[in-house]
Chains A and B, each alone.
Chain A
């Protein structure tokens, strides 16, 4: 090869490389500008979508229409649909038999997650076991049954009872200059929530020998019954120190009776509940003195989170026990005003899969 031809080849190659570079450079530059989602993120998202999207979550409360079940339903539906899940709802309307039938029917429809609100410890226990054997994850909401399923979200009733008892002792116990007389307004004697709360409450109250429980009657969750009972109690014991209610909405009847007797300043009203805007209003008006909220809007959010974990963890139903106990928060007149203390009652839109019975 002559020196001239080598030079020509060299320049030619250089030109070719430069040309190639000039053509490729903008393309490379464009490629370098276009951001790519990282591979790990794409993998995670795709595995999440595979596990969650299109999965069915079924919810059976005891009844719709109370603030607690309405907020649970509204939040669960919103969050489930935002994640691409299908949301099924059945409303048994306080009928225990209808609830049992609804759960049995849902098991044959094979949802991926079944969320239930137990009216008693025993009613649904066998069906829940059958559901998990059929491959459905079961999450129990706020009131448990005798069967421990994969998930539980709710308040620890014994703890709630104990906390109310300790607060009562602070207000009416041996150190105070009061009559030490307290009244307990129970809900329904056989309900899971009632039994455990009263047990915790009595455990705490028994620690102070000065406290006298002058009345412990069941008002069956009815504010009118609570009013009638309390009207008699306050009339018999005008020096009553505290009235402890197992559910806020029911306890408003008792507060009304105490207000009618003109003793609202004297009697401490201690109760608990889901923490709706109504309850904060009662605190501000002085109808409750101290309110232990278990933030039901957050509980519903916890259920969807737990469902998400159970589905992505690909755990076999019936092999784990994941409990998400709600941390209860004391509210009083001052703290009722702070933002987020209570949830607004949901403006109920009809769920797409409405109650079929």
Chain B
């Protein structure tokens, strides 16, 4: 729930909603990416079995 605060800048109509949507999309992408790396590590054990850091992701 968003607290009713006195804000000095207008967050902009829809700006909270879009953050919720983007965070959800990123969450799903993150979930599948981890799943993919787990799956990959079954076949390439010992080699690059860590998911790339966030900087390297393409989403």
A and B interact: no
Give the B-binding residues of A (Cβ under 8 A).
none
Give the A-binding residues of B (Cβ under 8 A).
none
